[in-house]
Amino acid sequence: MLTGNLLWVLIGAILLGIAAGLNGTFAFLQKQSLVGDAAAHAALPGIAIAYLVTQQKDLPILMLGAAITSALAVYMIQWIVGNSKLKADAAIGFVLSVFFGIGIVLLTIVNQSGTGNQSGLNDFIFGKAATMAKSDLVWLSSSALLIILMCLLFFKEWKLMIFDPIFAKGIGLPVERLRILLTALTVLTIVTGIQAVGVILMAAMLIIPAAAARFWSNHLGVILVTSAFFGALSGALGTIISSVRTGLSTGPIIVLCAASLFVISYFFAPTRGFIAKSLKKKAFKQRNVVKEAANHE
């Protein structure tokens, strides 16, 4: 059943899931999850521009275009928040929807330009991992490997930067540059995943595994491993399901697999999960009732 191409797709999806799980955890802890959403939506105009300029649909070129507009969107959010009284949520929503609108405008132009219909740019909206070409998958996998490597390399520095930025500065870490590096890596993660998962749901790959993993532990190392595992599992499951049943886009299936893992974590995780918490609350109440009764006597 595992034909050559499907095996490649599976490897790509797993690597992408691990990369997004690791990187997403850092973004999550910096409370930057929705910035990732904006960056993912903003990839669309970049893809269209890259195609319009070069008339080619080689993945590296489209990825480069996507990276430029995504990074521009992130920068614009920071610029607007820094230079006006608008809050982050308004800036994110504004940048996200305007960039996506421009993306739709450009995509319409591409689709009308004759050859555009065959360019398959529409697939970038929801993703088509199961039909990716092998050369594209090589790109995806190497990019994902690079992200994983960087996350492991900068683990200690980022940990310090997130939990105690003042101390980090004090011992001479270039905090600003580390933060920019993390943002750049987030953009790279998004760009890596857009062809497989699509621009709208790529953000979910960053957010959901990290949010689910947070329920399982208070240690960054454990959260990272769990998040990477969840990402890989949902990537693999989603790819298999969407390749067995043709006609389904990969993106939504991967996201739903991740969402199921999240629901399981939300309810059943030890100590931080919903059931564990309710039980603890109940026990606490009972103890207090007993104590109060004892006091009355």
Binding mask 184-223 for another protein (x = CB under 8 A): ----------------xx-xx--xx-xx--xx--------
Q: What is the dihedral of CA 258, 260, 265, 266, to 10 degrees?
A: 110
Q: Is 285 in the site for another protein (CB under 8 A)?
A: no
CA distance 233 to 145: 17
Q: Is 50 in the site for another protein (CB under 8 A)?
A: no
* Shortest CB 197 distance to another protein, Å: 10
- Report CA torsion sign: 20, 266, 126, 201: negative
Binding mask 220-259 for another protein (x = CB under 8 A): ---------------------------xxx-xxx-xx-xx
Contact 81, 91 (CB under 8 A): yes
Contact 21, 251 (CB under 8 A): no
Residue 34 neighbours by CB under 8 Å, 6+ apart? 89, 92, 203
- CB nearer to another protein: give 80 or 180: 80
Q: Is 42 in the site for another protein (CB under 8 A)?
A: no
At which residue do the structure tokens 């095996």 appear? 7
Binding residues (CB under 8 A) for another protein: these are 28, 31-34, 36-37, 80, 83-87, 89-94, 96-109, 112, 122, 125-126, 200-201, 203-204, 207-208, 210-211, 214-215, 247-249, 251-253, 255-256, 258-259, 262, 266, 272, 274, 277
